[in-house]
Structures are given as C-alpha cells and as structure tokens.
Amino acid sequence: MNFKTLGLAAALLASSAVAAFAEVQFALSTSQNATDPLAMAMEEAATQIEARTNGEIQVTVYPSSQLGSDNDVLEQIRNGAAIAVLVDAGRLAPFQKELGILSAPYLVDEWTQYAAITASEPYKAWVEELAASSGLRLLNYNWFQGSRQMFTKKPVTKPEDLAGVRVRTIDAPGWLATVNAMGATAVPMPWSEVYSALQLAAIDGAEAQLTGAYGIKLHEVTGNLAFTNHVQLVTGLTTSEAWFKTLTPEQQTILVEELAKAGDAASAATVAKGEEVLAEMKAGGMVVNEVNPEDFKALTAGVYAQLGLEEARAALQPYIDAAK
C-alpha cells in the first residue's frame, strides 16, 4: 500500500472525531472504476445520505481500489476504519465460513434468487455471527455485478481447453477452488493488476463479469470470451461493527436504507449495461466461443465439500427452490 493510501486510511480511522464540516466522515470503496454502475450508484447514495442526515454524515467514494485491495480494506475496517467496501462473500468466508456459500459455483440459476437467500433466517444468523466474531458488519448483499465468464487469450469451448491456462481470480478460497475445479490454474491477483499481467503474459486469462471486464479493457488483452456463467456475482457492503455502533439509530437506518437502494439501482444498471458493453467488445474484435455451462458445472460439484459448505447449501436450498 502506498503512502497516499496509508494517509487516506489514517484519516478515515480518525473519523469518529467531529470534523470541520461534518460530524461523521465515511468512505465507500470499490475495485471498479468511476464509470462502472456500482461506483455511480455509490455516488448517488453519498448524495442521499448527506441530504437525509443534514450533512451529519459526509460520504466519499473511492473507486479503482484507491484505498488498497479489497482484502487490505477489510483489514482497515476490522481495525475500526469508517469505510464500507464492496466485496463478494468469498472474502468474508475466512471470518464466517458459511457466508462463502454466497459466491459458490452454480449456487442459483438466476441472480434474482439471492433476494430469497438474504431474507432467510440462516443468512441473517451468519451475518450476526460475522459481526460478533470478526467486527465486520455486512450491511447488505444486493449489488449484482454480473455473471462471471472466462476471458482468455486462446479459445475455450470445453473444460479441457483450460488445462494449463493461468486464470486470474479473486484471492479467496472459494474462488480459487472453483477456477481450479473448472480445469484452469487459478492465480489470485488484485483486480488493478490484471491488465498489465495479461500484457506481460504473467497470466493467460481472467474470469470476470462483462461490465468489470470492459471497465479495465480486458478485451484488449484477451480476445476470447466463454460464457461459463460459473458464479452469479452478487456482492455486499461490509463496514466496521464498532464504527457502525457509534452512529445514532436514525443514522444507522438512513445508511442501511440508502445503501440498499443503491444496490438495487446498481444491479439494474449493470444488467442494462451488460448487453451494451458486450456489443462494444464484439465490435472491437472479441470472439465469443460457444460452450455448454453444464460441462463446467459438473466439474465444480465437489467444491462445496472441499470448502465445508454442504450444510450451508442444504440450509439455503429450500429458500432458493421457493424463489424459482
């Protein structure tokens, strides 16, 4: 982490003190760039939170991992920083194993089924256990970033084509296990380093959602796209439980409500933008290779046992089935 990032983090850690123009200063962090629907929805949420609290809470959005990698920011949050970072639950699994189920492969058929999951009693219990054991407060889990696909330099039409292919993925146990199970060699790496790693041939591809891939021009350094749909990437905002408790009940309510609204807005915008960016990537020379997702799904069945998530899956299955 560079000095600029350390300085920002230090400033945020001091946010419980009364600032010159605001009672509370709060940051929203995302790895996506400023033009991504996620970051844009965060900006709107910042405006609404400041308005509803009459300026008592001032919010700054930091896109493109300006505060550090997602894992780095989670550590800042555990130390009490007034930040909320948008992450998938795979990054929370080391602190609350059951939450890893939310980024497990082929968990749901459609991303909209996550609403039933987050309304379920098992999910709510895991969220409270996470807060109590690690100091991480998961505020929501309704930010759909898109379905994860394979972007590679060489064509992929079947699992065998991934043999020996070094594919960047998220640095979390579930993601690593999923990519390896699909036949590739998983390489954990911060999102901000992926483009240059492909340029330098340090990796051969990356698994990503359409809008995120387009945001860093992944199509320029890969050339092939396979719609494996291996994870419906729904994510959530995680903040410091200790910091959250310093807010008044009214402030907590406003924060939760506006960030949930922003998640819904970001999801709708992501779906709409997905088709747009796919067309632009195709126009730029991206080749979409036909695959049968069921071939990859069959290979990932063992990931649940490997990660100890079979009981968690069984607990959620009735809610998922009811949402179909």
CATH number, domain at 114? 3.40.190.170
- Can you give the residue range of the structural domain that contains 297? 147-232+280-323
Q: Are residues 113 and 168 in the same domain?
A: no
Q: Are residues 82 and 8 in the same domain?
A: yes
Percent of the chain with pLDDT over 70: 93
**Residue 1 reports pLDDT greater than 50:** no
**d(C-alpha 283, C-alpha 194), whole Å:** 22
**pLDDT for position 18:** 39
Q: Are residues 88 and 18 in the same domain?
A: yes
**Residue 8 reports pLDDT greater than 80:** no
Mean pLDDT, range 303-318, rounded to an integer: 97
Q: Are residues 221 and 130 in the same domain?
A: no
Q: Assign residue 54 a region: left if phi > 0, alpha if psi is -120 to 50, beta otherwise?
A: left
| Residue found under tokens 């300006």 | 66
**pLDDT for position 250:** 98
Q: Which long-range contacts (CB under 8 A, 24 or more apart) does 303-311 make?
A: 303/104, 303/105, 303/174, 303/177, 303/178, 303/181, 304/101, 304/104, 306/177, 307/93, 307/97, 307/100, 307/104, 307/173, 307/174, 307/177, 308/97, 309/97, 309/98, 309/100, 309/101, 309/104, 309/174, 311/98
Q: How many domains does the chain have?
A: 2
Mean pLDDT, range 73-86, rounded to an integer: 98
**Residue 11 reports pLDDT greater than 90:** no
Q: Are residues 254 and 120 in the same domain?
A: yes
Q: What b/e string do you get for 145-177 counting C-beta neighbours within 10 Å, with b at 16 or more?
A: bbbbbbbbeeebeebebbeebbbbbbbbbbbbb
Torsion over CA: 152, 155, 157, 163 (sign)? negative
Q: Are residues 239 and 294 in the same domain?
A: no
Q: Are residues 78 and 28 in the same domain?
A: yes
Q: Are residues 255 and 123 in the same domain?
A: yes
- Give the confidence band of 112 by pLDDT, cuts at 50, 70, 90: very high
| Helix and strand element counts for the chain (H, E) | 13, 12
Q: Are residues 249 and 198 in the same domain?
A: no
Q: Are residues 170 and 296 in the same domain?
A: yes
**pLDDT for position 6:** 52
Token representation of residue 14: 């001091």
Mind listing the pLDDT tens digit for each residue in 47-66?
999 999 999 999 999 999 99
Mean pLDDT, range 169-198, rounded to an integer: 96
Q: Are residues 135 and 213 in the same domain?
A: no
Q: Please give the sequence-ordered ranges of beta strands (E in DSSP) within 241-304, or none if there are none.
A: 287-289
Mean pLDDT, range 108-125, rounded to an integer: 97
Mind listing the pLDDT tens digit for each residue in 191-239?
999 999 999 999 999 999 999 999 999 999 999 999 999 999 999 999 9
- Give the confidence band of 10 by pLDDT, cuts at 50, 70, 90: low
Token representation of residue 3: 């000095």
Count of CB atoms situated within 10 Å of the CB of 2:
8
User: Could you tell me the CA-to-CA distances from 62 to 57, 114, 235, 260 in Å, in that order?
Assistant: 16, 26, 17, 18
**pLDDT for position 15:** 46
Q: Are residues 214 and 111 in the same domain?
A: no
